[in-house]
Amino acid sequence: MPPVITSRTNETVKQTRALTQARARREQGLHLVEGEKLVREAAASGCAVARLFVEEGFIAPEADAEQTVTVSRGVMEALCESRTPQHVCAAVRTPSSAAPETFPAGLLVVLDRVQDAGNLGTIVRTADAFGAAGVFVGTGSADPFSGKALRAAMGSTYHLPVWQGDAAAALDALAAQGFVCLCGHLQGEAALPDVTARMALVIGNEGNGVSDAVAARCLRYRLPMPGRAESLNAAVAAGILIYELAMRMAKA
């Protein structure tokens, strides 16, 4: 049987623990996945599992890992961000997030400086649930492969394409490819435009909304709110708009 790693200062443990930081994720080309469900989702999507960590006394999940390491409970707790982690975590090779030359038809969700990782992950999960063709994460947004974002997405990060780059440039490319670009905006129209088979929905920053440069490239829509609240949480607003557009597109 392989030896059990019990030291939190073990080099492999230290390198993997560093993946909780964005810089280490970029440098290593890896991200940390916690829990058996997410490890299985990552492996099933085709992502390579570089290092699989299994707590002593538990059976490793089916994943074609390059390296499998058995660790003590204390080391598992050191590796993970969760307060009470499960018995499995993994360092997974991050898939390419470069935008394609041609975007797939359907509903795409574009995030403009959505900075809360929990909101970002929730939006990815909602987009997945309603059949979106992909999510574009604009510069200045949270990292979709951070632990908080991955946990909020509940595996959806591995179910649909997640691209990263400049949101304004992406919208220019989308418009050239026949997409109708729509953003939520407090000064927008009160009625949704007619939907087409190619729609790009932009969700803006939690505090400041969509940037001027991005809004200038979009039709603007103001979500009717008869109550007294001025605005909605970004993930909640995204959920309403994704649902509404997806249902209209399905009927078109």
pLDDT tens for 228-243 read: 887 889 999 999 999 9
Stated pTM of the model: 0.95
pLDDT value at residue 1: 61
Place of tokens 């599992």: 49
pLDDT value at residue 62: 81
pLDDT value at residue 116: 97
Three-class DSSP labels, the chain: CCCEECCCCCHHHHHHHHHHCHHHHHHHCEEEEECHHHHHHHHHCCCCEEEEEEECCCCCCCCCECCEEEECHHHHHHHCCCCCCCCEEEEEECCCCCCCCCCCCEEEEEECCCCCHHHHHHHHHHHHHCCCCEEEEECCCCCCCCHHHHHHHCCHHHCCCEEEECHHHHHHHHHHCCCEEEEEEEEEECCCCCCCCEEEEEECECCCECCHHHHCCCEEECCCCCCCCCCCCHHHHHHHHHHHHHHHHHHC
pLDDT tens for 207-217 read: 899 999 999 99
Q: Which residues of the chain have pLDDT under 70?
A: 1
